Amino acid sequence: MIIERGKRAMRSPIILSRATVERFPQVMPGVLICITIALATTFIADHYGGPTLLYALLFGMALHFLSEEGRCVAGIEFSSRTILRFGVALLGVRITVEQVTSLGIGPIVTVVAGVVLTIFAGVLLAKVLGLHRDMGLLTGGAVAICGASAALALSAVMPRGANSERNTILTVVGVTTLSTAAMVLYPLIVSVLSLTDQQAGVFLGGTIHDVAQVVGAGYMISEETGDVATFVKLMRVAMLVPVVMCFILLYRNAEGSQNSGKIPRLPGFLVAFVVLVIINSLGAIPATVADGMTDLSRWCLVTAIAGLGIKTSFQKLAVVGWKPVILMVSETLFLLGLVLSFIMFGLVSL
């Protein structure tokens, strides 16, 4: 069920489709719950201070039972995926090509090296732990690229075996849990190391697994950090295409592979984000419209983070077994150390 819902979400376009409109009565209860959390946490943050997105995450986690069954499940899923992607796409109005080019070649080198080396590290660590190579490839790709979405995309082109579905579910649960923990802990590392806003953006965007948590952690620190983190993270998401193609080539002759002829497409929200960046760079978006889209994006992200919090249960990590947990934690720490090394030793020019 988790896999099928994930695949359907990945195929969903950023623009609301007819099918989405028809599902409106089904998703409305869960969406209203997430919006209510967004309103409550925004009120608390505005009046008493503190990060709105973190409040939304914690409030959502307190209502985890709503994601198990009932009328709210569909709306919570819709909020944490479709509304999230819509909000991330709208962030394109905050960024211009000039800002991107000012970052230099460093972030690109960091992203490519992080993805490639983390996947290789996953394969080696899986061998050391006595796990199958496929588990190392799957978890390494999920950690290196974009968390649960990458796990679902990569598993779709890997050979089917007796444990394929189980491994995918374990990976989705594991990387989601680790990514949520990183969203809370990594900003503390930024503070301890006294990283600049741009360095913090590269660090957060280059290390945290899922887009939602990158956006949440980045904008907890500052708007500039959030913008840089989002751009770096979306570069990692774009790496999903060449990595999936490499997996297709790797498994094209494998027995049981039924998806070797499929060519992956870029996620719709990534395409929309890039298009808005280009339009904004041309000065075609009036300031008032850009401000309105920015505010809408902010509300979408807070709503999505609330949905993500509702879906998060640390108790589920207990069922994955210790070896896959050690594997994913080790891959996460490897990526963390690699990106920090690039930043701290001046290999990333900012």
Least confident of 33-37, 108-112, 116-120: 108-112
Mapping DSSP to helix (H, G, I), strand (E, B) and coil, where does residue 349 land?
coil
Half-sphere exposure of 209 (CA within 13 A, CB side): 30
Is residue 247's pLDDT more than 50? yes
- The predicted model gives 227-234 an average pLDDT of 87
- The pTM of this model reads 0.70
> Which of the pair, 163 or 234, is modelled with greater confidence?
234
C-alpha to C-alpha distance for 79 and 1, rounded to whole angstroms: 18
Cβ proximity of 277 and 92 under 8 Å: yes
From the centroid of its chain, how far is CA 325? 19
When pLDDT is cut at 50, 70 and 90, the band that residue 273 belongs to is confident
Which residue reads 């061998």 in tokens?
A: 127
Residue 263: its pLDDT value, please?
Answer: 52
The residues near 318 (Cβ < 8 Å, ≥ 6 apart) are: none
Is residue 157's pLDDT more than 80? no
Q: What is the length of the chain?
A: 350
When pLDDT is cut at 50, 70 and 90, the band that residue 3 belongs to is very low
Is residue 316's pLDDT more than 70? no
**What residue type is assigned to position 309 of the chain?**
G
Task: Pick the closest to residue 178 from 209, 145, 153 (CA basis).
Answer: 209
Task: Pick the closest to residue 88 from 201, 241, 227, 203 (CA basis).
Answer: 227
Kindly report the average pLDDT of the chain as a whole number. 81
> Which of the pair, 164 or 324, is modelled with greater confidence?
324
